[in-house]
Chain A
């Protein structure tokens, strides 16, 4: 019997290479993404620019490469990586938390709230930074509203079902607010801006506003990753998890706050990008199984790679950028359907 146990532990270690492989894939994808674009940059120039900025070396390279790489492409690539990782981690957490594989990170109203905040800011002609900040705040506020109302509805018990239902109501309320703002916005100037923003894109990302995106995501991801094993227990239900020794209420709260931070920051800087938070956790579960200990980091990495690829297609395929939400739906929806058709039991 001892031998068999050893065998199993070995099996578990098979998942570590997947994380290493995905990390390498992410780095390669990121480097290739730096080269790609309307202005192609040679790999030697990329290395030279990095050598200059990291080690102060002075190798010759075209000045234009440096500007494009540091000011335009690098922030955008970092944004794609963080947004993809954040949305996937939030999606995986919510699916575990709400015991439902059909759940995506906008379940409790974070996206709709952030969208409304951004739309308001755009209506009042505020700067990019303010748009992002207000969107972020509104995303968190929407989830807070969901939480408060659901607590009242279920008389302090804050059961999962009332949380989901309240989230649905709050989301559609904020969607309605967005429509109102669009309706009153000037159809010649403001309405197009608002519409384009909502479609999602990373054009507005720059070195200046990158921290506003990265910081909340990192703050959200740290507890999500540290506590990830216990997420397994929450997927059995609050009472069972509690009986086994997990403070399910606190853990759930932690995950909701962390996911909300990550989702709101993502939506605030890139608009509403659907499908990533739904499809990537599924794909990860297919690759490494449902144990969040491995599945959550794999989700983060896969989400980052996926978003990076999508953004590359968005900015390189045509002269005009394709909205991200369109691309994620075009890739995500058929992929999801194929998963459903395979009919794997238990959403593996």
Chain B
């Protein structure tokens, strides 16, 4: 499967926020989108998901323009993992995950035995089956993020679009979620995610897209894109990329900001 954004101009109404954006991702790859606040990452996401109509350009799945797809058909191909939030009502975890099956049900349908079994399978796949009967509003942020991933997986999509999957998570949970994302990609999922941490690009991504002011999107591998120079241009702060060869792990790279007093 190839997911492609071609010469997209995105924005609200007729005011473009991003212009001429093109990117491409294949099954099994992870594209990590970086960029400062307010540069248009959310706008790009909303456009890729069809929440916002493109002003011009197109979003294609295997060459097919998805703008003509129904909401249901889109949901069967593209899964969306929103940022962790607290919903109003105390649904159980299994109920929340089973909601991901809605595109596979009839208009007046509700989850049947098969849908519940499918939801359960996704919880097992992520190793969180013991949360099944817990109340979604009462579990931790990291657990909730996992549940949201499980719900998106229950849609049976070919591509996952994740909005800052590590935001609001503690350090351990960030790494756990990133590990899970890598595993999903190894299983053949195409994943597009945003992050505020350039380090995450090193940790798990086949590609990096660095969005800069003025709609400039730098695309390439992590080592090509995540450089001190590029980060300084994008975020306006002094950053160095540190490279260390560590025995029994291999080469590790990390971004470290420089603060001069």
A residues whose Cβ falls under 8 Å from a Cβ of B: 1, 4-5, 8-9, 95-96, 99-101, 155, 226-227, 229-230, 232-233, 235-236, 239-240, 242-247, 285, 289-291, 293, 345-348
Contacts and interface: CB of A to CB of B under 8 A. Distances in A.
Contact of B155 (A100, A245, A289, A290): A245
Contacts of B111: 229
Contact of B75 (A229, A230, A232, A243): A243
B124 A1 contact: yes
B87 A229 contact: no
Interface stretch (B26-34, B94-102, B210-218, B250-258): B94-102
13 contacts: A1-B129, A8-B116, A8-B132, A96-B89, A101-B88, A229-B102, A235-B89, A242-B71, A243-B79, A244-B80, A244-B155, A289-B92, A346-B135
Nearest to B148: A240
A187 B41 CA distance: 63
Most central of B78, B87, B129 by chain A CB within 10 Å: B87
A285 B117 contact: no
Nearest to A243: B80
B90 A291 contact: no
Nearest to B71: A247
B103 interface: yes
Contacts of B120: 1, 4-5
A289 B49 contact: no
A348 B135 CA distance: 10
Contacts of B107: 227
Given A245-B71, A347-B89, A348-B135, 20 more contacts: A8-B94, A8-B132, A8-B133, A96-B89, A229-B105, A232-B99, A233-B99, A236-B87, A239-B49, A239-B51, A239-B82, A243-B49, A243-B51, A243-B80, A245-B102, A247-B71, A290-B91, A345-B90, A347-B88, A347-B90
A5 B88 contact: no
Q: Please provide the 8 A-B residue pairs with the shortest distance between their CB atoms, ordered closest to farther.
A: A245-B103, A245-B75, A346-B90, A243-B80, A290-B89, A229-B110, A346-B137, A99-B88
A246 B102 CA distance: 7
Contacts of B108: 226-227, 229
Most central of B71, B74, B92, B155 by chain A CB within 10 Å: B71
A140 B168 CA distance: 43
Contact of B109 (A99, A229, A239, A348): A229
Interface in B236-260: none
Contacts of A247: 71
Contact of B102 (A239, A244, A289): A244
A235 B87 contact: yes
B208 to A, nearest CB: 24
A239 B46 contact: yes
Contact of B90 (A4, A96, A289): A289
B132 A244 contact: no
B170 interface: no
Contact of A5 (B46, B72, B117, B137): B117
Interface string B29-66: 00000000000000000100111000000000000000
A236 B148 CA distance: 11
A155 B109 CA distance: 33
Most central of B51, B76, B92, B99 by chain A CB within 10 Å: B99
B197 to A, nearest CB: 24
Nearest to A233: B99
Contacts of B137: 345-346
B99 A244 contact: yes
B158 interface: no
A283 to B, nearest CB: 14
Given A226-B108, A246-B71, A235 B133 contact: no
